Amino acid sequence: MAALVELEEARSVWLAYEAGFAERRKKEKHDGLRRPGSVDDWHRLTWGGFGVAWCDDPQVHPRGPMADVLRRLITALERDPGCACPVCGGRALVWKYDLAHEPSSGPVCTDCGIVVPRPVLTPEALAAARRGRRLLMSA
């Protein structure tokens, strides 16, 4: 039961984001603005859902309610890219292949298990994850 409530809350957070996103796109289109494609791509992959925030490894989960995790991801998407996991701040990101859902490969946080949306990370952070190295604090 609790899980269902949590899912509902997470869904409402996501739907609010979707609504805001659609609104913004409409306005930008009207103003003739173009955004970099990566957020759009990510958005398209996750449309309607929970492919979004999910953890490929069921053994590893972020702490805290799903709605909070989702809020943190959304916040990260709306600011400049960084080099740490948007959910737990961890920097131990590794590139994984054959993920259970779309995208089929990407950076995964080894601390909380979240599949980090690529637009949230800087190109350097993505490259480091691909090389399979931990990012240094100075990076």
Residue type, 74: I
Least Cα distance to 129 among 110, 101, 113 occurs for 110
Closer residue to Zn ion (CB): 53 or 87: 87
Range 90-109, binding Zn ion (CB under 5 A): 90, 109
By the 10 Å C-beta count (0-12 exposed, 13-18 middle, 19+ buried), 128 is classed as buried
Q: How far apart are CA 136 and CA 133, in angstroms?
A: 9
135 binds Zn ion (CB under 5 A): no
Closer residue to Zn ion (CB): 25 or 96: 96
Binding mask 71-90 for Zn ion (x = CB under 5 A): --------------x-xx-x
Closer residue to Zn ion (CB): 29 or 88: 88
Q: Give 79's strand partners.
A: none
Q: How far apart are CA 54 and CA 102, in angstroms?
A: 10
Closer residue to Zn ion (CB): 43 or 91: 91
Range 43-72, binding Zn ion (CB under 5 A): none
Report the interface residues with Zn ion, using CB under 5 A.
85, 87-88, 90, 109, 111-112
